[in-house]
């Protein structure tokens, strides 16, 4: 077709020419233009069963999104794929004072209900499909190895590519839903075999298991958008993708994706493509980054603290960005209980919120652990802590977290899991 450099099939040309309506033609055109910017050679079918939409952007960006949804609905466009969506921004169980709530409800997320209704019309998977960990079994949007996806949520894209062996670029928001609507995505980058080769070798030479979120942060900041092949981590997290390894990689990956722009990593002896092809995945002339305990300490000590009063007592703690898995929820419940007992406290001394997917929360709430967690004073929620921190009033509060993604995008302060546990259970003793 004149004007387009990439190869397009007759069906794709028909869509571009408006055979499926004007709105669909616009959606396709956007995807083709987006692909051409990145040198895509063709458009390939999205083969995953379901899509996922990113929405973790600030309110200023949301207005055009609501308008776009209206246009899609008016144009009779329904997504080819059902999709999950990033977490909801509001939950009345999460501590917020009168003014903060006013800002949330009146100025920031006043259109949430309308947005929910729009999403349902366009193709929302279910009312509980709001989470960034859509790939967890409980949520039911788990792509298969080799599936081509149209996702954009960075923590989910890196997980799907690396742990599940699916294929997805680090798309921007809106491109994700457009790909799901039309059923095609541009072929470039992480969709290609070449683009999945590692241009960095990371050698983990620590004396103890590295903190997932700091290791991911160190690698992300070093390799940026490149693909790292990590050697020596299987020594610490094993050679089986069990619950623990998957939870570790979820947190590790989110840090690589947010502290850098990693969309895919390979873990020697563990992740599917590394198990299959091993060091053949490493590109010629790959650079080397050696990580020991000292390097991790250096990285962590360099995180800026942007609290007004650096010695302020934390007012809130968030654990679960990305959302916690079911096993992580149980593990954290047990750890908080044991640590409270150790320090002679009954309840957490800093208001603390654990966040997880609605389906995971529901499963957890059916177990005796739910009452045990409640007794510790910890609040369990389905929100996105980043959206909470986007409230300018909340952003001023001294908030602590074990999430390197949350630290990167907000004023919250990072602590390791062990440090956080001590802070929320010990108090001024
Ligand atoms: Fe998920 Fe929100 Fe964190 S989308 S990864 S909980 S910023």
Same domain, 201 and 267: yes
Does the CA dihedral 322-325-331-332 come out positive or negative?
positive
Q: Each residue of 3-40: pLDDT tens digit?
A: 788 999 999 999 999 999 999 999 999 999 999 999 99
DSSP β-ladder status, 184-186 and 43-45? antiparallel
Does some domain include residue 309?
no
> Is residue 202 located within the same domain as residue 185?
no
Does residue 385's CB lie within 6 angstroms of at least one atom of ligand 1? yes
CA of 323 to the centre of ligand 1 (A): 7
- Ligand 1 pocket test, candidate residues 249, 325, 406, 409, most atoms within 8 A of CB: 406
Domains in the chain, number:
3
What count of other Cβ atoms lies within 10 Å of the Cβ of residue 241? 17
Q: What is the pLDDT of residue 1?
A: 47
Residue 306 covered by a domain? no
* Distance from C-alpha of 98 to C-alpha of 373, rounded to nearest angstrom: 26
Taking the centre of ligand 1 as the mean of its atom positions, its distance from the CA of residue 19, in whole angstroms, is 38
Last residue of a domain, one of 250, 273, 301: 301
Which pLDDT score, from 0 to 100, does residue 66 have?
86
Atom of ligand 1 nearest to the CA of 383: 6
Residue 62 pLDDT class (50, 70, 90 cuts): confident
| pLDDT at residue 429 tops 80 | no
Domain boundary residue, one of 158, 175, 191: 191
CB 45 within 8 A of CB 148: yes
Task: Give the pLDDT band (50/70/90) at residue 127.
Answer: confident
Domain that holds residue 172: 10-191
pTM over 0.85: yes
Q: 370 CA distance to ligand 1 centroid (A)?
A: 22
CA 378 to chain centre: 23
One domain for residues 26 and 64? yes
| Residues 338 and 279 placed together within one structural domain of the fold | no
Give yes or no: residues 256 and 207 share one domain.
yes
What pLDDT is recorded for position 107? 81
The confidence score (pLDDT) of residue 56 equals: 58
In a domain, 350, yes or no: yes
* Domain match, 91 and 16 both: yes
d(CA 154, CA 201): 22
| Whether residue 416 is found in the same domain as residue 376 | yes
56 lines ligand 1 (CB under 6 A): yes
If one residue of 87, 131, 320 were mutated to test the ligand 1 pocket, choosing by the most ligand atoms within 8 A of its CB, it would be 87
Residues in Cβ contact with 250 at an 8 Å cutoff, skipping those fewer than 6 apart: 133, 155, 159, 163, 322, 325
Q: Is residue 122 part of a domain?
A: yes
Peptide bond into 234 cis (omega under 30): no
Q: Is the domain of 57 the same as that of 107?
A: yes
> Which carries the bigger pLDDT value, residue 194 or residue 112?
194
At 302-348, the pLDDT tens digits run 999 999 999 999 999 999 999 999 999 999 999 999 999 999 999 99
Residue 5 counted as domain residue: no
Residue where one domain finishes, among candidates 123, 158, 191? 191
Same domain, 394 and 378: yes
3-state secondary structure 292-320: CHHHHHHHHHCCCCCCCCCCCCCCEEEEE
pLDDT at 213 over 90: yes
Q: What is the CA radius of gyration of the chain?
A: 22
Q: What is the pLDDT of residue 82?
A: 95
């Amino acid at each position: 077709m004149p004007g387009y450099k990439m190869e397009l099939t007759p069906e794709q040309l028909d869509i571009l020419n408006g055979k499926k309506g004007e709105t669909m033609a616009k959606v396709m055109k956007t995807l083709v233009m987006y692909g051409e910017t990145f040198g895509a050679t063709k458009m390939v079918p999205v083969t995953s069963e379901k899509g996922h939409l990113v929405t973790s952007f600030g309110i200023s960006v949301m207005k055009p999104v609501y308008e776009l949804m209206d246009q899609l609905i008016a144009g009779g466009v329904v997504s080819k794929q059902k999709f999950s969506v990033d977490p909801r921004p509001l939950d009345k169980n999460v501590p917020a004072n009168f003014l903060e709530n006013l800002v949330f409800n009146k100025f920031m997320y006043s259109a949430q209900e309308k947005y929910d209704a729009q999403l349902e019309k366009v193709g929302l998977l279910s009312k509980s499909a709001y989470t960034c960990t859509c790939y967890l079994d409980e949520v039911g949007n788990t792509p298969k190895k080799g599936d081509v996806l149209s996702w954009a949520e960075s923590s989910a894209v890196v997980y799907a590519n690396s742990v599940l062996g699916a294929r997805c670029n680090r798309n921007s928001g809106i491109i994700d839903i457009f790909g799901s609507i039309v059923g095609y995505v541009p072929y470039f980058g992480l969709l290609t075999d070449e683009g999945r080769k590692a241009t960095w070798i990371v050698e983990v030479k620590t004396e103890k298991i590295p903190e997932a979120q700091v290791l991911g942060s160190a690698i992300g900041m070093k390799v940026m958008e490149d693909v790292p092949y990590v050697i020596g981590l299987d020594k610490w997290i094993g050679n089986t993708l069990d619950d623990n390894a998957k939870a570790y990689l979820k947190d590790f990956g989110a840090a690589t994706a947010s502290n850098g722009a990693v969309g895919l990593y390979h873990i020697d002896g563990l992740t599917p493509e590394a198990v299959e092809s091993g060091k053949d995945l490493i590109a010629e002339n790959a650079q080397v980054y050696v990580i020991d305990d000292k390097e991790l300490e250096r990285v962590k000590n360099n995180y800026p603290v942007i609290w007004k009063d650096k010695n302020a007592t934390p007012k809130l703690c968030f654990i679960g960005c990305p959302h916690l898995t079911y096993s992580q929820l149980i593990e954290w419940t047990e750890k908080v209980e044991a640590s409270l007992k150790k320090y002679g406290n009954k309840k957490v001394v800093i208001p603390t919120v654990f966040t997880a997917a609605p389906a995971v929360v529901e499963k957890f709430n059916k177990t005796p652990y739910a009452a045990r967690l409640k007794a510790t004073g910890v609040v369990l929620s389905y929100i996105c802590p980043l959206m909470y921190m986007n409230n300018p009033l909340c952003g001023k509060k001294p908030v602590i977290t074990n999430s390197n993604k949350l630290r990167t995008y907000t004023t919250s302060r990072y602590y390791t899991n062990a440090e956080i546990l001590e802070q929320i259970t010990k108090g001024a003793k």
